[in-house]
Amino acid sequence: MSAAEDRYLVVVNHEEQYSIWLADRDIPMGWRPVGEAGTKRECLAHIEHVWTDLTPLSVRMSLSEPAAKDPSR
């Protein structure tokens, strides 16, 4: 199979960071498929469409805590 024919899966980790993974390989621990599959170009286009905030989830959560918003605490 050539690189142009490779099939990929879109995967996401616990920090809501996206990546692609070759569909014929085991997904690494800590990542899960999101249900999108296709060519590398198709998968990257999907990620570009859905991953609009590159900030990791843990950082977004800490910034939304009241203490993070009030510097006097």
Question: In whole angstroms, what is the distance from residue 36 CA to residue 43 CA?
Answer: 7
3-state secondary structure of 65: coil
Query: pLDDT tens digits for 40-55?
Result: 999 999 999 999 988 8
User: What is the Cα–Cα distance from 44 to 57, expressed in whole angstroms?
Assistant: 20
Domain assignment of residue 48, yes or no: yes
Looking at the domain assignment, is residue 18 inside a domain?
yes
Q: pTM for the whole thing? A: 0.77
Q: At 12, phi and psi to the nearest 5?
A: -140, 150
CATH classification at residue 46: 3.90.820.10
In a domain? residue 24: yes
Sheet containing strand 18-22, edge to edge, reads: 18-22, 8-13, 31-38
On whether the CB atoms of residues 64 and 57 are closer than 8 A, the answer is no
Work out how many domains the chain is built from and give that number: 1
> Which residues constitute the domain of residue 15?
8-52
Residue 17 lies in a domain: yes
The yes-or-no verdict on residue 56 having pLDDT over 90 is no
